[in-house]
């Protein structure tokens, strides 16, 4: 597969940035509160899709990127242990890591111990959203 890919790849145009990350949740109200109130992401748009019996919530980050939150009735749970192939986690850059750790802990969110990235020297920490999606905060 890798040899086939290398043989067919041409020079690609430059990607600008990540536009959005999409997250499927099991309980829309709980996840909406988590991302808007606890994490403080402003709502850009909120739409109910009757044909799918599903909500779509567009959330804004300061750099213009977005998080899309979807409700999908009956969606299977995400395998986390052992980790499955695909997106491993979603990471957010923050200015004050310790302030975020304390905010999350005061709100009842379990936070792993702060670690130091051996390659970048940056401090980071993991926690989970209401559906156990791993989220990371990286101090900038």
Q: Whole-model pTM?
A: 0.87
Q: Which two tokens stand for residue 27?
A: 């309980």
Count of C-beta atoms within a 10 Å radius of residue 92: 15
What CA–CA distance (Å, rounded) separates 139 from 137?
A: 7
What CA–CA distance (Å, rounded) separates 99 from 118?
A: 22
Q: Does residue 32 contact residue 39 with C-beta atoms inside 8 Å?
A: no
Give all strands (DSSP E) within 26-112, no chain letters: 43-49, 54-60, 66-71, 90-94
Give, for all 140 residues of the chain, the pLDDT tens digit. Answer: 555 556 566 788 988 889 999 999 999 999 999 999 999 999 999 999 999 999 999 999 999 999 999 998 888 887 777 877 888 899 999 999 999 999 999 999 999 999 999 999 999 999 999 999 999 999 99
Question: What's residue 129's pLDDT?
Answer: 96
Give domain 88-140's CATH number out of 3.10.180.10, 3.50.50.60, 3.40.50.80, 2.30.33.40.
3.10.180.10
Using CB atoms within 10 Å of the CB of residue 69, give its burial: 0 to 12 exposed, 13 to 18 middle, 19+ buried.
buried
Domain spanning 17-73, CATH class? alpha beta
């Amino acid at each position: 597969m890798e040899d086939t890919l290398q043989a067919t790849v041409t020079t690609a145009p430059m990607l600008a940035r990540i536009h959005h990350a999409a997250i499927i949740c099991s309980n829309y109200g709980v996840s909406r509160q988590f991302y808007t109130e606890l994490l403080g992401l402003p709502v850009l748009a909120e739409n109910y899709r009757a044909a799918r019996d599903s909500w779509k919530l567009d959330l804004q980050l300061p750099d213009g990127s977005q998080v899309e939150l979807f409700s999908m009735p009956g969606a299977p749970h995400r395998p986390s242990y052992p980790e499955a192939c695909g997106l491993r986690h979603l990471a957010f850059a923050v200015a004050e890591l310790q302030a975020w750790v304390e905010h999350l802990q005061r709100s009842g969110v379990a936070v792993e111990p702060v670690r130091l990235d051996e390659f970048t020297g940056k401090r980071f920490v993991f926690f989970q959203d209401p559906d156990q999606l791993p989220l990371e905060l990286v101090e900038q």
